[in-house]
Amino acid sequence: MRTLTAVVLAAVLATPATADWRQFHGGPARLGVSPEQGLSSANVRHLRVVWSRATGKSPEGINSSAAVAGSRVFVGSDDGRLYAFGLGGRPLWAKSVGGAVRSSPAVADGVVFVGSNDGRVQARAAATGALLWSRTVGGVVSSSPLVAEGRVYVGSRNGSFYALSAATGRVVWKRTTWAVWDGAAYRGGAVYVGSDQARVWAFDADTGARRWVAEVWGRVRSTPAVTDDRVFVGTDNGRVYALNRRTGHKVWSSAAVAPGKGYVRCAPAVAKGLVVVSVGLTTTPMDGTLRAFHVRTGASAWTGQMADYATSSPAYTNGLFFVGSFDHRLYAFGARHGAQVWTSGWEFQGGFFDRGISASPAISGGRIYIGVRDGRLYALGLP
Answer yes or no: is pLDDT of 11 > 80: no
The string of DSSP codes covering 134-156 is EEE-SS---SPPEEETTEEEEE-
CATH class of 24-381: mainly beta
Model pLDDT for residues 174-190, shown as the tens digit of each residue: 999 999 999 999 999 99
Grade residue 346 by pLDDT with cuts at 50, 70 and 90: low
The residue that leads in pLDDT, 156 or 287, is 156
Among positive and negative, which fits the CA dihedral 131, 80, 194, 66? positive
36's CB contacts (< 8 A; 6+ apart) are: 19, 317, 318, 363, 364, 365, 366
What is the pLDDT at residue 3?
A: 38
- pLDDT tens track for 36-45: 989 999 999 9
Domain ranges (residues) in the chain: 24-381
pLDDT of residue 308: 85
Per the confidence metrics, is the pTM higher than 0.75?
yes
pLDDT at 152 exceeding the cut of 70: yes
What is the tens place of the pLDDT at every residue in 71-94?
A: 999 999 999 999 999 999 999 999
pLDDT-based confidence at residue 7 (cuts at 50, 70, 90): very low
Distance CA 289, CA 298 (A): 17
The mean pLDDT value for 245-257 works out to 97
Element (H, E) at 205: none
| CA count, 13 A, side-chain hemisphere, 370 | 31
